[in-house]
Structure 1
Amino acid sequence: MNPPRLGSPIVPASPHPHEDLLAHLARTTPLAPGEAARVVAEVLAYFAETTEEYVRRRHGELQARGLTNEQIFTRLGGELAARRVAAPQLSVRQLRRMVYG
Protein backbone atom coordinates (compact mmCIF):
# COMPACT_ATOMS: atom_id res chain seq x y z
CA MET A 1 0.00 0.00 0.00
CA ASN A 2 1.39 3.39 -0.98
CA PRO A 3 1.56 6.17 1.60
CA PRO A 4 -0.72 9.17 0.91
CA ARG A 5 0.86 11.91 -1.17
CA LEU A 6 1.05 15.48 0.00
CA GLY A 7 -2.20 17.19 -0.77
CA SER A 8 -4.15 13.91 -0.82
CA PRO A 9 -7.41 14.11 1.10
CA ILE A 10 -7.31 12.32 4.42
CA VAL A 11 -10.31 10.10 5.07
CA PRO A 12 -11.34 10.31 8.72
CA ALA A 13 -11.66 7.07 10.62
CA SER A 14 -15.23 5.83 10.86
CA PRO A 15 -16.87 6.65 14.17
CA HIS A 16 -17.16 3.95 16.81
CA PRO A 17 -20.53 2.19 16.38
CA HIS A 18 -21.34 2.98 20.02
CA GLU A 19 -19.92 6.49 20.13
CA ASP A 20 -22.92 7.83 22.07
CA LEU A 21 -22.50 5.14 24.75
CA LEU A 22 -18.77 5.84 25.04
CA ALA A 23 -19.42 9.56 25.46
CA HIS A 24 -22.09 8.82 28.09
CA LEU A 25 -19.74 6.54 30.06
CA ALA A 26 -16.89 9.05 29.90
CA ARG A 27 -19.26 11.79 31.09
CA THR A 28 -20.94 9.85 33.90
CA THR A 29 -18.13 7.66 35.25
CA PRO A 30 -14.46 8.12 36.12
CA LEU A 31 -13.56 6.07 33.02
CA ALA A 32 -11.32 7.68 30.41
CA PRO A 33 -12.58 7.33 26.81
CA GLY A 34 -10.13 4.47 26.10
CA GLU A 35 -11.19 2.62 29.24
CA ALA A 36 -14.85 3.11 28.37
CA ALA A 37 -14.19 1.66 24.90
CA ARG A 38 -12.55 -1.42 26.44
CA VAL A 39 -15.45 -1.93 28.86
CA VAL A 40 -17.99 -1.66 26.05
CA ALA A 41 -15.97 -4.10 23.92
CA GLU A 42 -15.88 -6.61 26.81
CA VAL A 43 -19.61 -6.33 27.44
CA LEU A 44 -20.41 -6.73 23.74
CA ALA A 45 -18.14 -9.78 23.50
CA TYR A 46 -19.83 -11.27 26.57
CA PHE A 47 -23.30 -10.89 25.08
CA ALA A 48 -22.16 -12.00 21.62
CA GLU A 49 -21.63 -15.55 22.89
CA THR A 50 -24.02 -18.09 21.46
CA THR A 51 -26.16 -20.01 23.93
CA GLU A 52 -23.97 -23.07 23.40
CA GLU A 53 -20.76 -21.11 24.02
CA TYR A 54 -22.23 -19.53 27.13
CA VAL A 55 -23.43 -22.87 28.55
CA ARG A 56 -20.05 -24.54 27.93
CA ARG A 57 -18.10 -21.65 29.44
CA ARG A 58 -20.32 -21.28 32.50
CA HIS A 59 -20.44 -25.04 33.07
CA GLY A 60 -16.65 -25.10 33.20
CA GLU A 61 -16.50 -22.10 35.53
CA LEU A 62 -19.10 -23.50 37.91
CA GLN A 63 -17.62 -27.01 37.82
CA ALA A 64 -14.22 -25.53 38.73
CA ARG A 65 -15.90 -23.95 41.78
CA GLY A 66 -17.04 -27.40 42.92
CA LEU A 67 -20.72 -27.33 41.97
CA THR A 68 -22.40 -30.54 40.88
CA ASN A 69 -24.04 -30.92 37.49
CA GLU A 70 -27.47 -30.78 39.12
CA GLN A 71 -26.60 -27.46 40.77
CA ILE A 72 -24.97 -26.17 37.59
CA PHE A 73 -27.88 -27.01 35.29
CA THR A 74 -30.41 -25.48 37.69
CA ARG A 75 -28.32 -22.33 37.89
CA LEU A 76 -27.76 -22.19 34.12
CA GLY A 77 -31.51 -22.40 33.53
CA GLY A 78 -32.00 -19.29 35.63
CA GLU A 79 -29.07 -17.46 34.08
CA LEU A 80 -30.24 -18.19 30.54
CA ALA A 81 -33.72 -16.88 31.32
CA ALA A 82 -32.21 -13.57 32.44
CA ARG A 83 -29.79 -13.11 29.52
CA ARG A 84 -30.35 -10.41 26.96
CA VAL A 85 -30.70 -11.50 23.36
CA ALA A 86 -29.61 -9.74 20.22
CA ALA A 87 -32.27 -8.01 18.16
CA PRO A 88 -33.20 -9.69 14.91
CA GLN A 89 -31.75 -8.18 11.76
CA LEU A 90 -34.25 -5.62 10.50
CA SER A 91 -34.77 -4.35 6.98
CA VAL A 92 -34.77 -0.64 6.18
CA ARG A 93 -38.53 -0.90 5.69
CA GLN A 94 -39.00 -2.43 9.16
CA LEU A 95 -36.86 0.29 10.71
CA ARG A 96 -38.79 2.97 8.86
CA ARG A 97 -42.08 1.51 10.12
CA MET A 98 -40.80 1.62 13.68
CA VAL A 99 -40.07 5.31 13.30
CA TYR A 100 -43.03 6.45 11.23
CA GLY A 101 -45.63 3.78 11.96
Structure 2
Amino acid sequence: MPSRPDPDLVAHVAASTGLSEAEAARVVQDVVAFHAEPVEAYVRRRHAHLKTYGARNDEIFARIAAELATRVVAAPALSERQLRRLVYG
Protein backbone atom coordinates (compact mmCIF):
# COMPACT_ATOMS: atom_id res chain seq x y z
CA MET A 1 0.00 0.00 0.00
CA PRO A 2 1.35 3.45 -0.82
CA SER A 3 2.54 5.42 2.19
CA ARG A 4 0.13 8.26 1.38
CA PRO A 5 -3.42 7.59 0.19
CA ASP A 6 -4.91 9.34 -2.84
CA PRO A 7 -5.00 13.05 -1.90
CA ASP A 8 -8.25 13.64 -3.82
CA LEU A 9 -9.96 10.84 -1.91
CA VAL A 10 -8.62 12.15 1.41
CA ALA A 11 -9.87 15.66 0.58
CA HIS A 12 -13.29 14.28 -0.37
CA VAL A 13 -13.59 12.27 2.87
CA ALA A 14 -12.45 15.26 4.93
CA ALA A 15 -14.91 17.61 3.22
CA SER A 16 -17.86 15.23 3.43
CA THR A 17 -17.33 14.19 7.06
CA GLY A 18 -15.79 17.17 8.80
CA LEU A 19 -12.70 15.17 9.69
CA SER A 20 -9.28 16.78 9.55
CA GLU A 21 -7.04 15.84 6.62
CA ALA A 22 -4.94 13.64 8.95
CA GLU A 23 -8.01 11.86 10.33
CA ALA A 24 -9.43 11.37 6.84
CA ALA A 25 -6.09 9.95 5.65
CA ARG A 26 -6.14 7.41 8.51
CA VAL A 27 -9.71 6.41 7.67
CA VAL A 28 -8.84 5.93 3.99
CA GLN A 29 -5.76 3.87 4.90
CA ASP A 30 -7.84 1.69 7.24
CA VAL A 31 -10.49 1.06 4.60
CA VAL A 32 -7.91 0.25 1.93
CA ALA A 33 -6.11 -2.13 4.30
CA PHE A 34 -9.41 -3.84 5.17
CA HIS A 35 -10.21 -4.45 1.51
CA ALA A 36 -6.67 -5.54 0.68
CA GLU A 37 -7.05 -8.72 2.72
CA PRO A 38 -6.33 -11.71 0.45
CA VAL A 39 -9.29 -13.96 -0.35
CA GLU A 40 -7.70 -16.93 1.42
CA ALA A 41 -7.20 -14.95 4.63
CA TYR A 42 -10.74 -13.54 4.44
CA VAL A 43 -12.28 -17.01 3.99
CA ARG A 44 -10.31 -18.48 6.90
CA ARG A 45 -11.05 -15.52 9.18
CA ARG A 46 -14.79 -15.48 8.41
CA HIS A 47 -15.07 -19.28 8.74
CA ALA A 48 -13.45 -19.20 12.17
CA HIS A 49 -15.61 -16.26 13.25
CA LEU A 50 -18.90 -17.84 12.12
CA LYS A 51 -17.91 -21.24 13.55
CA THR A 52 -17.33 -19.54 16.92
CA TYR A 53 -21.00 -18.55 16.96
CA GLY A 54 -22.22 -22.06 16.20
CA ALA A 55 -22.92 -21.83 12.49
CA ARG A 56 -22.76 -25.05 10.48
CA ASN A 57 -20.38 -25.43 7.54
CA ASP A 58 -23.10 -25.54 4.89
CA GLU A 59 -24.45 -22.22 6.20
CA ILE A 60 -20.97 -20.77 6.59
CA PHE A 61 -19.80 -21.58 3.08
CA ALA A 62 -22.99 -20.25 1.51
CA ARG A 63 -22.65 -17.02 3.48
CA ILE A 64 -18.96 -16.59 2.65
CA ALA A 65 -19.62 -17.17 -1.05
CA ALA A 66 -22.31 -14.46 -0.97
CA GLU A 67 -20.04 -12.07 0.92
CA LEU A 68 -17.17 -12.56 -1.53
CA ALA A 69 -19.43 -11.54 -4.41
CA THR A 70 -20.09 -8.16 -2.77
CA ARG A 71 -16.54 -7.15 -1.92
CA VAL A 72 -15.27 -3.93 -3.51
CA VAL A 73 -12.96 -5.92 -5.73
CA ALA A 74 -15.05 -9.01 -6.10
CA ALA A 75 -13.28 -12.28 -5.64
CA PRO A 76 -13.75 -15.00 -8.22
CA ALA A 77 -16.74 -17.24 -7.66
CA LEU A 78 -15.59 -20.12 -5.49
CA SER A 79 -17.39 -23.42 -5.09
CA GLU A 80 -18.09 -24.87 -1.66
CA ARG A 81 -15.30 -27.37 -2.32
CA GLN A 82 -12.82 -24.57 -3.07
CA LEU A 83 -13.89 -22.72 0.09
CA ARG A 84 -13.44 -25.89 2.14
CA ARG A 85 -9.94 -26.38 0.70
CA LEU A 86 -9.01 -22.82 1.70
CA VAL A 87 -10.06 -23.56 5.27
CA TYR A 88 -8.94 -27.14 5.71
CA GLY A 89 -6.18 -27.43 3.10
Give the structure-1-normalised TM-score.
0.62
- 1:41 corresponds to 2:29: yes
Question: Alpha-carbon deviation of 1:18?
Answer: 0.9
2:9 pairs, out of 16, 21, 33, with: 21
* Between structures 1 and 2, the one with greater helix share: 2
Instruction: Please give the root-mean-square deviation of Cα atoms over the aligned residues, in Å.
Output: 1.9
Q: Which runs of 5+ in 2 are unaligned?
A: 75-89
1:57 corresponding residue in structure 2: 45
Equivalent pairs, count: 72
2:60 corresponding residue in structure 1: 72
Structure 1 distance, partners of 2:7, 2:69, is 29
Q: Which runs of 5+ in 1 are unaligned?
A: 1-14, 87-101
1:32 pairs, out of 14, 20, 45, with: 20
State the identity as a percent. 51
Structure 1 distance, partners of 2:21, 2:53, is 35
Structure 1 distance, partners of 2:58, 2:16, is 41
User: Quick check: which has more Rg, 1 or 2?
Assistant: 1
Moved over 6 A (4+): none
Partner of 1:31: helix, strand, or coil? coil
- Tell me if the contact between 2:5 and 2:25 (Cα under 8 Å) persists in the aligned partners: no
Give the structure-2-normalised TM-score.
0.70
